[in-house]
Amino acid sequence: MDLDTLRRTLLQRLESDRRFGLTHLPKPQGAFDLSFLRDVGEGLESDEAGAAVSVAARNVAIAPQPVATPSSAGLFDLPAAVVPVGENIAPPNTERSEASRADRVSTLKVLSERVAGCVRCGELAATRTQTVFGVGNPEAAIFFLGEAPGADEDRIGEPFVGRAGQLLDKIIGACRLTRDDIYIGNILKCRPPGNRNPAPIEAANCREYLSAQIATVDPDYIVCWGRVAAENLLGTKEAIGKLRKRFFTYGRAKVAVTYHPSYLLRNPPAKKDVWDDMKWLFRDMGVDLDAGRKGEAGDRERG
């Protein structure tokens, strides 16, 4: 494309965005122990062993950006580009991925760069400091799925780094894992202002990224932390209390649901329930968290 055509194309795109109600461009992305149970009266022996888990892989084709559709309203009411549900969404893996670690790293990088430039949700794009894509082991057997970044995550660019994240870290440690053993992501990659709940349209806009992220990591297990994660991944409106200790499926991955760490901060007695859920989950992996190490580290060898 010559310079003149490029210039015209860009101007047309900006004009079209303006007509659809785009009023802001996002801020540029920067370079880019059972002690948690203490207040419910239980203790956890720490153990350096990792818990047994497995991994998987598949190359994920990154779909093209969806075409923008007009928004009916103006400022901050512009999920300007609505992704039709089901379009560009990587289907859940039904077979174990064969993708190498390097391939996964590069797929996730491309995805995170796309997310960094995403302006599908006008309000979120205009108010975020940066997008929060996800962190962890690209070959993790366990994918922890949260809701959306909060203020600390928006500032730092990593999921679960605030108070809820510190509690999650303790839970991860109690399971004898580290953040590097698992993968952590959210339903939304941008902070909803005031930490409001994600709007359904925002979750739909972000679904393409989440689906590709899960398909790339290809975990054996997904843990939905809280109602928003469960509702959006599984399409259920049931209360967490009714979803606990039941395996759902997302492709070949087993999905477990438990309380969100933020809820635990408000309601410490529920930590006991979450610990029960972790023990139940890990038992399914062949790991008895009560009895100490029985398996290998989180990033298990492929094969």
* Contact residues for ligand URA, defined by CB under 6 A: 146-150, 153, 159-160, 162, 164-165, 186
Residue closer to ligand URA by CB (options 215, 264) is 264
Cβ atoms of 96 and 252 closer than 8 Å: yes
Instruction: Please classify residue 237 by burial: count the beta carbons closer than 10 Å to its beta carbon, then call 0-12 exposed, 13-18 middle and 19+ buried.
Output: exposed
Question: Least CB distance from residue 291 to ligand URA, whole Å?
Answer: 31
Q: In this structure, what are the phi and psi dihedrals at residue 150, rounded to the nearest 5 degrees?
A: -105, -165
- Residue 186 or 205 with smaller CB distance to ligand URA: 186
Closest to ligand URA by CB, 148 vs 215, is: 148
Coil/strand/helix, residue 159: coil
- Beta strands at 253-258 and 221-225: parallel, antiparallel or unpaired: parallel
Q: Cβ of residue 148: shortest distance to ligand URA, in angstroms?
A: 6
| Minimum CB distance to ligand URA, residue 98 (Å) | 30
* CA within 13 Å, CB half, 238: 13
Q: Which residue is nearest to ligand URA (CB)?
A: 146
Q: Please identify, using beta-carbon distances, which residue of 161 and 281 lies nearer to ligand URA.
A: 161
Token output for 53:
């888990």
Least distance to ligand URA, CB of residue 41, Å: 26
- Cβ-contact 57, 106 below 8 angstroms: no
Structure tokens at 301: 């060898």
* Closer residue to ligand URA (CB): 122 or 146: 146
Q: What is the smallest separation between the CB atom of 63 and ligand URA, expressed in angstroms?
A: 24
